[in-house]
Structure 1
């Protein structure tokens, strides 16, 4: 029975563990930077369900175009429809109460279009595709902060801090797994992290602490043959460090 439940869960929840940190950390940081409200709960539900609906919709498109198995796309139809309906159920009352949320959603549309295009071309692992996904996720810090009574301007610096970290995870994770033998990726990842450290320290001196650790892990861990689970655990700790530092620093 447990195996059946696990298989069913795997059909609904994508096997992209890093994505959950990227979805949660900026949102929670924005919530704590402002005043947490009950409205943050349906907003979080809308955000997560919307992500799942988009994910399954893009997988349906990718398999519809690229798979030789005619039955493969079908397994994503029900999750896409159910999650989309759940997102609409949670999100529509919010949109009525806070119409500016519609503008925020429109700002995410170009990045969603990029991700959909890469899914259509079966190139979801492309570097640009990963970077495009990071931007709206980090933009949710601004949305959560604004919903909590904060100003857009107050959220720019912490959102950039999140963008610097999660943007760096895209090339770094590639150096640990798919591009672990590429010296070009390694050099690019290390160079990015050094630059991110400098920029983060300019935003707030306290950010130098976690971003120094991020730069060190980008330089020291590739090539050590770490298992995927270990790589994921390190990133969980790195994300928690960011979540603890951003609200305290701003």
Structure 2
């Protein structure tokens, strides 16, 4: 019973959690951890949860024939939104520039709501729209720790290269398995990633990391059907490897 309640309140999306946490932690460690990071992470995760349930409510209210399907997301959306208010207010009072950072995320969030309203959440553009603000948390967390914004753009681009590539790769493993255009797009992206990392003067370990990502993007789709938990576990490991690479470098 308890596990069912947890599943209703917390989305079971391994890739989404990694995308939310890894850029944030990279920015925190690069800028220097502070007590404010704990509050910022709490607000970031609460905002995601509130938005997730609001989008599910919008999608199901329009497309589901079962009125209870949408209603079960209404309470979590309200609870998480209300829980977000105190930490968000404290953070804005401490660092008013966070309002500008939040405003930058609004257009991408709007794209997510439009795709939810259309019941096309799995669209490629919607996935990319979610990746961009998630990776944008790296410079936000770095600045919160007192780091210099000039130090943020390279690791932020590394996160963008990885997580945008993951959107393509996961398509080739699940919903677009067997699709030649998606396979080619994923292969070319992952082939370009190590070259881009080298051209951007990212550390050699990062170039090697993207080489490993290229091998998994080319090899795993040829192994036939792979269970979603296995795909998610591989991405969690790679996400942690990216975090370690960026922080160590």
Query: What TM-score results when the alignment is normalised by the length of structure 2?
Result: 0.97
Distance 2:56 2:133 in 1: 19
Cα RMSD, aligned residues only:
0.8
In the alignment, what sits opposite 1:164? Answer: 161
Give secondary structure in 2 for the equivalent of 1:223.
helix
Distance 1:170 1:27 in 2: 19
In the alignment, what sits opposite 2:87? Answer: 90
Distance 2:5 2:103 in 1: 32
Post-superposition shift, 1:227?
1.5
Distance 1:39 1:103 in 2: 18
In the alignment, what sits opposite 1:37? Answer: 34
Distance 1:89 1:66 in 2: 34
In the alignment, what sits opposite 1:235? Answer: 235
In the alignment, what sits opposite 1:213? Answer: 212
Post-superposition shift, 1:87?
1.3
Distance 2:138 2:128 in 1: 17
Q: 2:14 aligns with which of 4, 14, 17?
A: 17
Query: What TM-score results when the alignment is normalised by the length of structure 1?
Result: 0.97
What are the ranges of 5 or more consecutive residues in structure 1 without an aligned counterpart? none
Runs of 4+ more than 4 Å apart? none
Post-superposition shift, 1:164?
0.4
In the alignment, what sits opposite 2:222? Answer: 223
Distance 1:191 1:44 in 2: 34
Kept in 1: contact 2:127–2:167 (CA 8 A): yes
In the alignment, what sits opposite 2:43? Answer: 46
Post-superposition shift, 1:72?
1.3
Kept in 1: contact 2:14–2:236 (CA 8 A): no
What are the ranges of 5 or more consecutive residues in structure 2 without an aligned counterpart? none
Distance 1:235 1:127 in 2: 18
Post-superposition shift, 1:201?
2.1
Give secondary structure in 1 for the equivalent of 2:178.
coil
Q: 2:134 aligns with which of 100, 120, 137?
A: 137
Post-superposition shift, 1:241?
0.8
